[in-house]
Chains A and B, each alone.
Chain A
């Protein structure tokens, strides 16, 4: 499954990142690397973007970017 398919409150471990180019580097820099644990905290009121918790902080990511990140649910 992908990060975009998580429901609020669910946690997952990152398997692979399908994003390319500058955005890929940015995602890595922000700490979304393989095997990291991520929790989906909530979704913005209009349905997008997502509020994620990882490495002790909160990160906001758009759905179409989250859909490129393969995860396994914990």
Chain B
């Protein structure tokens, strides 16, 4: 017969470690209806008839947060066959508070006292037999990190289920119907104090203050009045650099783990994609089929795979920080600043990651405590100047600001993204979350060295979740843009086929161009109301750097074969080979790609795309165009991640609408101000 076991416990009690140890990799992550809280289910590795559900970590069953409501409703209404309440033995008093509330519901329960190694280290002992006698449920000492005591725990669970052992009804439980909340909390805690006096022995406490643990000493440094911020900056630098840096630890040319892995994946994927492309050619596939597979499907899959190394590395490091207890200190140290913007200190990490790539940044919002912070931060991540937006800025700066201070323009864009984020966060807090209590009442858990296993499971879960939940969005959207930019309404007419010898259309005549022409007037007030810049924005959603490639394709008269030949003519062989020409020999077939990727994206040709100046007439409009690309909907990969974190299409489209609206208003203001300044 199969049974359902629910895992409950305080945050930081090691509940997730217990869950991972019991279920191994047989987990399924979903979400509770209506809220962005994970619902994790799995089966016991040693007995698949036992399914285990990981309830959200809570400090009580009073229905004030989504987590508490879920846990309470589940225990009271779904009535699991047994609840395992995981308690942190090193702060047993507070952990017993939730335990009493669970026992009060009368469900069969087993208490697992975790962190027994730390209890010993502190010189304390916990008499589990005594607790068992007082509370009338099995109480099992465990060390989930080392897997100790888990077999005993599950034996006790099975026995509790088979004998239908229910907690002893204490007089205390009857009180909850007759007294107010204050008295109830008082009575529960005084009951706990008596219980702890009977079952827990403490050692070496002078005047009631216990001896300083290793964790306390570490905390003195990490939250020190002067050292805290420098240490924090260092940790953030390492986190960011390990994921994105090409000069890791300031060593030129040393790739960080994230970049190295990304290069490896890119190489493997590239080889596979080339192989498939060649295979299609040799099979004589129709040009539209070839294009669909190569430019649509493979491009979309490539976008999905390309992000995996970044997500993996970032998440391994993030879960290390989370499990070690440092993340709580990040919130502790940064709270003062972020509170002003209506966020908590923990939002700092996702936003910082956004400077590298929005996809892992959005996925990092999962570690925020409140749903409000998760949603707002997810939205703000789209405003961050990620690495892929940089080529757009660099190209435009070199085309429009060659005579001015280029660095200042880039700096302005970075400042703009921060200012807009703060503004949007404040406005949303005002409008959507008005009057919500910001409760910053946070446990500062003991520092613990996380196990490799739990860090790995976190990282792996993230990657899997991204592929499953975001992958379809990315692939579908990429194929849609491919179809729009390669077909026109007349594509399938006999006339077109006879004339062009293919059903495909050039981008100038594509559906995307038609849509661009229809939509372009909307951007008139922003200064770039022409169809080609408009189409550029749309292809930027496939990947932001695509804006550069698309503009080069659309202003093809400026990137003609003659122009390219002229541009590369005076270059030495060495320079040509550095740019990517094989053997340093000019090759007209490769010239276009090399020109867009190594010249335009790096801003080396200030005379490039001369006819773009007709569509984007002045500096103000150019700045507005950059700002629009910075702030509007992020790439589809990021939208996929947003969908995964916000967990509904309604909220995702809402967030995109806010991003588009913000981008429009800000670009409009910039263009108008630009008309005054320039």
Q: Please report A residues at the B interface, Cβ cutoff 8 Å.
A: 11, 17, 21-31, 33-34, 36-37, 39, 42-49, 51, 55-62, 65
- Supplied contacts A26-B441, A56-B92, A60-B331, 17 more A-B pairs, CB within 8 Å: A22-B437, A24-B181, A25-B60, A25-B181, A30-B94, A31-B94, A31-B189, A33-B185, A34-B182, A45-B228, A49-B440, A51-B444, A56-B91, A56-B94, A57-B94, A60-B444, A61-B441
List chain A residues, Cβ under 8 A from B97.
29, 31
Q: From DSSP, what is the main secondary structure of chain A's interface residues?
A: mixed
List chain B residues, Cβ under 8 A from A55.
91, 93-94, 189
Which of B218-226, B454-462, B518-526, B598-606 makes up part of the contact surface?
Answer: B218-226
Which of B332-340, B388-396, B637-645 makes up part of the contact surface?
Answer: B332-340
Give the most central of A36, A37, A49: most B CB within 10 Å.
A49
Q: In the complex, which residue of chain A has the Cβ closest to the Cβ of B337?
A: A46
List chain B residues, Cβ under 8 A from A30.
59, 94, 441, 443
List chain A residues, Cβ under 8 A from B178.
none
Q: Across the interface, do A37 and B332 meet the contact criterion of CB distance under 8 Å?
A: no
Interface residue total, chain B, C-beta cutoff 8 A: 40
Closest chain-A Cβ to B341's Cβ sits at a distance in Å of: 14
In whole angstroms, how far apart are the Cα atoms of A34 and B186 in the complex? 7
Closest chain-A Cβ to B298's Cβ sits at a distance in Å of: 49
Known contacts A49-B335, A65-B441; is A36 also within 8 Å of B189 by CB?
Answer: yes
List chain A residues, Cβ under 8 A from B206.
none
Q: For the complex, is B209 an interface residue (Cβ under 8 Å from A)?
A: yes
Q: Across the interface, do B60 and A60 meet the contact criterion of CB distance under 8 Å?
A: no
Q: For the complex, is B109 an interface residue (Cβ under 8 Å from A)?
A: no
Q: Which of B413-440 contact A (CB under 8 A)?
A: 437, 439-440
Q: In the complex, which residue of chain B has the Cβ closest to the Cβ of A52?
A: B444
Q: Across the interface, do A23 and B94 meet the contact criterion of CB distance under 8 Å?
A: no
Closest chain-A Cβ to B210's Cβ sits at a distance in Å of: 8
List chain A residues, Cβ under 8 A from B62.
25, 29
List chain B residues, Cβ under 8 A from A42.
223, 225
List chain B residues, Cβ under 8 A from A31.
93-94, 97, 189
List chain B residues, Cβ under 8 A from A58.
443-445
Partner of A56, one of B93, B181, B437: B93
List chain A residues, Cβ under 8 A from B443.
30, 57-60
Q: Across the interface, do B189 and A51 meet the contact criterion of CB distance under 8 Å?
A: no
Q: For the complex, is B442 an interface residue (Cβ under 8 Å from A)?
A: yes
Q: In the complex, which residue of chain B has the Cβ closest to the Cβ of A59?
A: B443
Q: Across the interface, do B333 and A46 meet the contact criterion of CB distance under 8 Å?
A: yes
Q: In the complex, which residue of chain B has the Cβ closest to the Cβ of A28?
A: B185
Partner of B336, one of A22, A36, A46, A51: A46
Closest chain-A Cβ to B69's Cβ sits at a distance in Å of: 12
